[in-house]
A and B are shown apart, each in its own frame.
Chain A
Amino acid sequence: MHEISLCQSVLRIIEQQAAQQNFSRVKTVSLEVGRLSGVEPEALRFGFDAVMKDSIADGAILEIIDVAAQAVCSQCNNRVEVKQRFDACPKCGGVLTIEKGEELRIKELEVE
């Protein structure tokens, strides 16, 4: 359940941004979550509501932008979508290097 501590990090980033970008309430939080980021979206949603309670993001909507995992093959150079970290290249069986899908970012906020 490290999703709880990730939500706490999200809240700290929001609070820093509130001072810098001059807002006092957060209505929506958009997070980019890669499929290989090691984060379970359902656990993130569960933790989010609990952690945001009584903060400037209390009751905020959590938007999760799902980022598919993409890798490039070291042998045939094709770009393919992967489901797991250890998938081999479906075209030639070569070793894949992950390019996308490890994201764990706050993309944007809807604030007032």
Chain B
Amino acid sequence: MCLDCGCGSDQVNIDNESHRCGSRRVTIETDILAENNNYATANRQFLAEKNILALNLLSSPGSGKTSLLTRTITDLNSTHKMTVIEGDQQTSNDAERIRATGVKAVQINTGKGCHLDAHMIGHALEKLQPQNDSLLFIENVGNLVCPASFDLGEAYKVVILSVTEGEDKPLKYPDMFHAADVMVINKIDLLPYVEFDVDKCIAYARRVNPEVEILLLSATEADGIDEWYDWIKRGVSRAQGETIIGAHSVYARNLGAPHSEGK
């Protein structure tokens, strides 16, 4: 401890100018994203309690996220309850496109922000009031960099890449493709007109993320769209299955405890 000022420094060295009386060093050791991650955990818990499958859709601008979403909503509307959170820097154009399908959508404008964060999603959920056993699509801001770092509380991150972009995007934006659970290659109906090597793209994606699931489709022409719906439906049953298993184990514990105490 510093005898001059009592500042608590245990590294006092009279000749060391770096010790300035009146100042002290405090250890923080806190993850900068901890606050976001706490909100994400709360969102995840809220969604799990309501058996809601949340998908975070990520891509660069113009990859066809909104087109895939409107098609998905139109095709699944008769069998699934759905809500949408739209993220864009400005305008509510995308939310209006979604609302035109008859599904409830909330638009988040991030202003100068380049990504959605878990706090914004928490507020959007309050506004949306999604029903139990439903699907929630979160369309993130079109950006392959920043949204990779922000957990929103979703079940899966879906990264969408269209064949009009370069096949080397997974290598150029490795953080995003590494974070994704699924990669959707969109606009495959345009393959005859563009120089996009599908095999190379898949190999690059697997290099940054060996476990990533890969789907090829065209949101406008419907090629491969059924595989996308199958994947969503598997996610829905998993979301509901997990909660049922979770509820059973809680139930079992609650049943077990009084008996063991009674003995």
Contacts and interface: CB of A to CB of B under 8 A. Distances in A.
Interface of A: 1-2, 4-6, 9-10, 12-13, 17, 21, 23, 27, 31, 36-38, 84-86, 95, 104-112
Contact of B208 (A10, A37, A86, A105): A86
B208 A1 contact: no
B174 A84 contact: yes
Contact of A108 (B27, B33, B150, B210): B27
A110 B148 CA distance: 31
Counting chain B CB atoms within 10 Å of each CB, the highest count among A2, A23, A85 belongs to: A2
30 contacts: A2-B114, A2-B145, A2-B149, A5-B113, A5-B115, A5-B117, A12-B35, A13-B32, A13-B34, A13-B35, A23-B26, A27-B23, A37-B149, A38-B145, A38-B149, A84-B174, A85-B208, A86-B171, A86-B207, A95-B210, A104-B31, A105-B28, A106-B29, A106-B30, A107-B27, A108-B27, A110-B23, A110-B24, A111-B25, A112-B23
Contacts of B145: 2, 38
Contacts, number: 84
B208 A108 contact: no
Contact of A111 (B23, B178, B210): B23
